[in-house]
Structure 1
Amino acid sequence: MSVPLDIAALGARAAAMIEELGAISESPDHLTRFFLTPQHRRAADLVATWMREAGLDVSEDALGTVRGHWHPAGPGAPRLLIGSHIDTVAEAGKYDGAMGVVLGILALGIIKKAGLSRPYGIDVLAFGDEEGTRFPTTLSASAAVAGIFAPASLAMRDADGVSYRDALIAYGKNPDDIPAAAYDPNKVIAYVEAHIEQGPVLEADGEPLGVVTAIAGASRLSITVTGEAGHAGTVPMRMRHDALLGAAEMALAAEKIAKADRHGMVATVGRMHIDPGSINVIPSRVVFTLDLRSGSDVSRREALERFEREAHRIADLRGLGVVISAFHEVATVPCYRDLQLRLRNAVADLGHPAPSMPSGAGHDGQAMSKLCPVGMLFVRCRGGISHNPAEYASPDDMGLAAAALVRFIERFQLPQLTDATGGVLT
């Protein structure tokens, strides 16, 4: 028998919680809430209050991850994890991360109130370092939960020169306790996260919810193009070695490669520095970045090889030099097929198809995939806008997402989970 659901009420409550959490910021003029700051402390305390109100037991680990526990089968039973993050970028929107925490609390509160018994436990997790905005690291809180925290991170410093270690101690934590934050992989069934899409696809398709197939892998390159400076008025076009025009053609080549891909590839040139940077001098040197993301590691590697060939071809034709170096590489994280199917069926129960789609943004699921199977539910966001104060998800859509999590939990037993390649995990 299905738990009765008031989707409108769930959505209204989610919206109210989002507003309350969004008011916790270092500035009254915008939302900025960094890891291990006084604002993080206040947000974590508010989340813990909500968890207790939902009837959950609450704990907090050595990196400040707030955990709400419901263990009807006893503390030794395996558990399902649901979560997201409560840290933000600078001048952020209110929904990125926070919404997933709120929806997890609401869904589990409904399940517990209905008296539904499960042969496993459920923990709702509120991570604190997904964005990597304070220290030059990211996903460290979820990495600790997954048992892959890098101790070298503790030496990293923020813009004020405060080390990660000292910030933890000031937050009231003992860095020596970090290993105890890790879950036993033999006791974890899966990790599921609800998140705003951070893109325009669901809105364009007229659908409130989507199911994520994979968290895209990413490669970041630095490309240096060298040419020859010359007078802008005296060097004929046919005799120029213009580094900027070569770099521009390489950027267009990256765009063409991405558009031809079948795995949702995106290519972005986000930075470009031009020397000597004078209005009347032909550019002699350009350094630009390329961010390449895809739902397939194979296609991403092939695209990188194609881009390198194209860049050298363009440089040769224009009499330029080019040096390409990679400075960031993250593998694709496939979402598990059974979790995708179960999430899609949960949404279908509410009368919606939940299209399949990749995630081009990074998420805590990337770290959690080292611990257990992961699944993600996307929620439509207005205009596809994220990391921006204009970020918005409607109460109706959030209510549907909370309801979908309830239906997902209702049907979730202790299954065999099939991974993205068809292999079976027990």
Structure 2
Amino acid sequence: MTSLDIDRLGRRAEAMLDELAAISEEPDRLTRRFLTPEHKRAAHLVAQWMAEAGMTTAEDALGTVRGHYAMAGEEAGANSVPRLLIGSHIDTVINAGKYDGMLGVVCGILAVEHFRDLGRRMPFAIDVLAFGDEEGVRFPTVLSSSAAVAGAFEPSWLDGRDRDGVSLRDAMQAYGLDPAGIPAAAMSRDEALAYVEVHIEQGPVLEHADVPLGVVTSIAGQFRTRVTITGMAGHAGTVPMGLRQDALLAASEMMLAAEAIAKAHPEASMVATVGQIGVKPGAINVIPDRVEFVLDLRAAADAPRHKALDQFLRKAEALAAARGCAVAFETYHDCPTAACAPWLQDQLAAGAGSLGLNPPRLVSGAGHDGQAMARLTDFAMLFVRCKGGISHNPLESATAPDMGAAVATLIRFIEDFRPPARAA
């Protein structure tokens, strides 16, 4: 077992993340949406790093950058070899931090670079994957890139449009991708031994426990439901309060109802969020006649999550009717709770243990590409402490020593990786 310079690994990760963070749609903050020119620039940089680390590179039909580190004895051009998958995403939210997603890609590259430097090949290949549609901030899709790798891409997603009316299909073609190639992006179950992702925690548990790393046990399930309320526009000065059909007031009551429903299910760690809302006609002196918002509903178990959504839909219909409005719903994202494989959890914990660490086990309230990859293979996640638990925010922060510990843990995990025997 070779010695590892954790400080150097952490500094390398920090420098690479700084370089990625400089690629943004906006000059004064980090925003990099799926299939934008900035996403393409970031993908090219990641592919360059992969090649420098000794991997062959390719880009699939959804823009996922794939670095392949061949197994011992692998013949050039072999189409089907057993491989350990390591990855995360390089798209961001609006006004993002520089660690969310990108850290997992950088950790995978640095781990492979370690074995390249040793001239060492494993009895399995290693694929590092840089996905692009994890955040779901541009199109009404989430995890489409990783879903394509898992063979779970829905063709109807191609017709989804962003706020500018650009469809996913058109954006792919503008990026230089061919939608007809999506089926070829899927891996087979025989190829994929496991999927592992390193990610900042995006919560305060590890910092509170004063430990750098944690092993994830499961990822909470999630709904995204678009709610459209239709009322009647009118003059703000002449329509009496009792005669109004104010779509915005109806929407406001619905959002408060969602909050109350989530608070009523603390046993399921349920959370409800509305982070996007549109109001029309959008004039100061006109009563709103159309409001659209998206409800993000998450829970650690699927049964209470489904029950809560049903409760919200019924309550929203009643609130709309009470104000003389109509309401319509579109649940366009339903991602079930995904459990991390215990055998992978144990091997990640052992990797950290070899460094003298004892990582706690914890649930992820945030969604991740692992939820899509779970349709292909067993998966696990390693969380890295982040300051204040802050994420989706420029204040997002992780220390170089903690990131170095994550890379070192991943290296130890790969050194001792043993997939369970598969049934014949």
**TM-score when normalising by structure 2:** 0.82
Alpha-carbon contact 1:22-1:94 (below 8 Å) kept: yes
Alpha-carbon contact 1:197-1:384 (below 8 Å) kept: yes
Counterpart residue type for residue 166 of structure 2: V
Between the aligned partners of 1:5 and 1:391, the Cα distance in structure 2 is 27
Which residue of structure 1 aligns with residue 193 of structure 2?
A: 189
- Tell me the CA shift for residue 309 of structure 1: 9.4
Aligned pair partner of 1:145 in 137, 142, 149:
149
Q: Does 1:175 align with 2:179?
A: yes
- Tell me the CA shift for residue 380 of structure 1: 1.0
Which residue of structure 2 aligns with residue 331 of structure 1?
A: 336
Equivalent runs, 1:127-138 vs 2, <5 Å: 127-138=131-142
Between the aligned partners of 1:390 and 1:350, the Cα distance in structure 2 is 29
Aligned pair partner of 2:102 in 98, 102, 109:
98
Equivalent runs, 1:322-361 vs 2, <5 Å: 327=331, 329-361=334-366
Q: Does 1:254 align with 2:258?
A: no
Counterpart residue type for residue 46 of structure 2: V
Q: Aligned pairs, how many?
A: 404
Alpha-carbon contact 2:250-2:323 (below 8 Å) kept: no
Which residue of structure 2 aligns with residue 89 of structure 1?
A: 93
Between the aligned partners of 2:158 and 2:228, the Cα distance in structure 1 is 31
Between the aligned partners of 1:307 and 1:370, the Cα distance in structure 2 is 29
Equivalent runs, 1:106-125 vs 2, <5 Å: 106-125=110-129
Between the aligned partners of 1:19 and 1:144, the Cα distance in structure 2 is 29
Between the aligned partners of 1:287 and 1:119, the Cα distance in structure 2 is 52
Between the aligned partners of 1:24 and 1:287, the Cα distance in structure 2 is 31
Between the aligned partners of 1:269 and 1:176, the Cα distance in structure 2 is 35
- Tell me the CA shift for residue 416 of structure 1: 3.9
Which residue of structure 2 aligns with residue 277 of structure 1?
A: none
Which residue of structure 2 aligns with residue 402 of structure 1?
A: 407
- Tell me the CA shift for residue 322 of structure 1: 12
Equivalent runs, 1:61-100 vs 2, <5 Å: 61-73=60-72, 74=74, 75=78, 76-100=80-104
Q: Does 1:57 align with 2:56?
A: yes
Between the aligned partners of 1:322 and 1:299, the Cα distance in structure 2 is 27
- Tell me the CA shift for residue 41 of structure 1: 1.7
CA displacement 1:242-275 (0-9 Å, x = unmatched): 98997688456425423x40x433344657999x
Counterparts in 2 of 1:377 and 1:250: CA distance versus 1, 3 Å: same
Counterparts in 2 of 1:289 and 1:45: CA distance versus 1, 3 Å: closer
Between the aligned partners of 2:166 and 2:324, the Cα distance in structure 1 is 43
Counterparts in 2 of 1:39 and 1:301: CA distance versus 1, 3 Å: closer
Which residue of structure 1 aligns with residue 372 of structure 2?
A: 367
- Tell me the CA shift for residue 134 of structure 1: 2.5
Counterpart residue type for residue 186 of structure 2: A
Which residue of structure 2 aligns with residue 387 of structure 1?
A: 392
**TM-score when normalising by structure 1:** 0.81
- Tell me the CA shift for residue 208 of structure 1: 1.1
Counterpart residue type for residue 261 of structure 2: A
Between the aligned partners of 1:287 and 1:159, the Cα distance in structure 2 is 13
Between the aligned partners of 2:303 and 2:395, the Cα distance in structure 1 is 35
The answer for unaligned runs of 5 or more in structure 1 is 235-241, 275-284, 418-424
Which residue of structure 2 aligns with residue 278 of structure 1?
A: none
- Tell me the CA shift for residue 27 of structure 1: 2.1
Which residue of structure 1 aligns with residue 383 of structure 2?
A: 378
Please state whether the residue corresponding to 2:44 is helix, strand or coil.
helix
The root-mean-square deviation of aligned C-alpha atoms, in Å, is 3.7
The answer for unaligned runs of 5 or more in structure 2 is 232-238, 243-248, 280-289
- Tell me the CA shift for residue 152 of structure 1: 2.2
Please state whether the residue corresponding to 1:33 is helix, strand or coil.
coil
Q: Does 1:154 align with 2:158?
A: yes
Identical pairs, percent:
54
Between the aligned partners of 1:40 and 1:301, the Cα distance in structure 2 is 34
Counterpart residue type for residue 28 of structure 1: P
CA displacement 1:192-237 (0-9 Å, x = unmatched): 111111112211221111111111112356598x9xxx989x9xxx
Counterparts in 2 of 1:404 and 1:150: CA distance versus 1, 3 Å: same
Counterparts in 2 of 1:71 and 1:390: CA distance versus 1, 3 Å: same
Please state whether the residue corresponding to 2:28 is helix, strand or coil.
coil
Stretch deviating more after TM superposition (403-412 or 198-207): 198-207
